[in-house]
Amino acid sequence: MYSQFKSKVKNKIKTIGRKILGMEQKKEIVSAERSGRVKPTVLARRLLEYDVISFDIFDTLILRTLSKPTDVFMSVGQELGMLNYTTMRREMELRLRDGKEAETGSREVTFEEIYEAMEKYCGVNAKEGIEAEFRAELKYCIPNPYMKEVFDLLKNYGKTIIIVSDMYFSKQWMKKLLSACGYEGYDRLFVSCDYGFGKRSGKLYQKISEEYLNGRSVIHVGDNPTVDVEMAEKQGWVSEFYEDIHTRGKKYRPSLMSSCIGSAYRAVVNIKMHSGAFESEKERDLAYQYGYINGGILILGYVQWIHRQAKEEHMDKVLFIARDGWIMKQVYDDLYDDIPSEYVYLSRNAALKMTCDYNRYELFRQFVERRVDSEKPYTIRDILVSMELESILPMLEKDGIHTGDIVDTKEKAEQVKEMLLDRWEHVCGVYESSAQAFHQYMKPILAGCHRVAAVDTGWRGTCPAAIKYMIEKKWEEDCEVTGMMMGSCKYKFNNTIPLIKDGSIRTYLFSPQHNDHLARFHYNKNLIHNTCIEFITSAPHPSVTSFQKGDDESYKIRFEYPEQENYEITENVHQGVLDFVKDYKKYHGDSPLFWEIPALDAYWPIRFAMERRFESVIKKAFGGYVYNKYVGGLEGKRDMDTFLDMCRKEGV
């Protein structure tokens, strides 16, 4: 009996947990996202056959840059400084409509009547409320780029255009809104609240037919299948259904985002993906869409957070570490110019070599221990070449060690480590030269700086920690370094906890110290999930191998073999990111309510894309994406795999 009760409780807890993580959403397998619209010119030609073309307004001619009409009320409430404004505003409108229906049989109300009720029952000054709400509508309404092209084509052909809407805004308000969105030159505007009946009852269509059409053929274009299609056709009109962008995009958008940022994000993406206006070859590319839909808000949120941290700490410069910092720097420079930034060429492997004096454990782990499990066996010689320690080979051979022996067991790996430790002074000498070259490279970057941020994606914190160590301790520069990462790994060693605890490294998305539910999800399949983020943060240039010192205080940067197969994909992803940031800034850059993006909102779209139902799309977009499993191999060419290979091995 107890065991049955315990099992039920356990299952209930699992269900609640899945809801918190967003796993309760339908698991329908989805295909690549497309608008499915015909070209605007095709629709315009179809509409030309009729004498009069009628358009609905909201979600047809005009789109809001928020996903629900009532989300506009959040902005009004903020401006008026009132709590619970959205609920009050919705309830007052519903109360009025119910009262009107009981009294007259019609549910039509006016904007002014709503605010008379708001003043009476909620204490909102009617005049101030009306002005604030209409300002918000003007701010968050834009012309539907698809329908604007159709409208202009019809107008150029001299067609008669009318506009018909069920709305509480009277004609005077609607004209202002249409004009602000660029709609001029239509013949008549019919609004339900001016007549006391609307499209939903069919009476407005009937009224227009009797008093205006005079037997002319008419087609109505609108987004509501009942109001704009069924009721229009019942009155003898022809209809053209334009499904609203949010209905089309719903299954592709995560629902568990905050009300403000979620609304803004969904609207921006759905305008792009489902209005029908953006159908170029570039915009149909899956890598571009991945950058726009999933990468844009992630990078925007992270860069905003970086800038806030840098500003609060009075930092002199933000250092974006290669290669992950490539797209971050572009977005940062597009948004901010008060704190300068620099792109710093570095890599985990190069950093481990240059900090070998305090990082030897990780150095051995990266270059020796990981080679044991390689599909293509590494010899002692191969390992030393990958570590740039070829100069040790003659010493080993002189001591009778066969450098062609394969290192395929932990015991043999330990032997290699002992060989290196026996010659550790020589190892440090080789890497010290590289560290000196890196110092020469960094001097002009650090000039005049006393506080800097070292920015990376994650996950172990090697590069930010190495830069901090070299600047503060090795070179003893008068400059404090704070590491910043998207996320910190949740490996069993929890190696970043001390640095996170003392503020040396800060994380945006998650760490062993915060947003644990995100960390748990991410590291459930960390290799796949890390890669899904690195599709966004990778750069179109090879990884850094090392720095070489020249004769006259000069230096040279050595790079791995370039992964040229990825560069076109990477550039498409980055273009998607940049376009999203541009659009989001255009729509919401002056709205604090919708601008600053919390970590949970920044991560949720890509976490949503990592679900099993999106796997086929991700594989199609990035299946051929190559990666070097052991960066630092012989000439950088060893152990190349594709993302499809990775998925197969990980059981995905």
d(CA 652, CA 650): 6
What is the token pair recorded at 507? 């994380």
Q: What is the pLDDT of residue 399?
A: 87
3-state helix, strand, coil in the chain (%, to 5): 60, 10, 30
CA dist 432 → 326, 424, 478 (Å):
27, 12, 21
Residues present in the chain in total: 652
Q: What is the pLDDT of residue 632?
A: 47
d(CA 136, CA 141): 8
DSSP 8-state symbol, 600: H
Low-confidence ranges of the chain (pLDDT < 70): 1-27, 490-495, 629-639
d(CA 278, CA 283): 7
DSSP string, 352-404: HHHTHHHHHHHHHHHHTGGGGG-SSPPBHHHHHHHTT-GGGHHHHHHTT--TT
Q: Name the region of 404 (left: φ>0; alpha: ψ -120 to 50; beta: rest).
A: alpha
Q: What is the pLDDT of residue 375?
A: 75
Q: What is the pLDDT of residue 142?
A: 98
CB 362 within 8 Å of CB 337: no
- The whole-angstrom distance between residue 373's C-alpha and the CA centroid of its chain comes to 35
d(CA 356, CA 462): 12
What are the φ/ψ torsions at residue 42 (nearest 5 degrees)?
-65, -45
List, in sequence order, the alpha helices (H) in 210-258: 231-234, 245-249
Q: What is the pLDDT of residue 91?
A: 96
d(CA 639, CA 377): 10
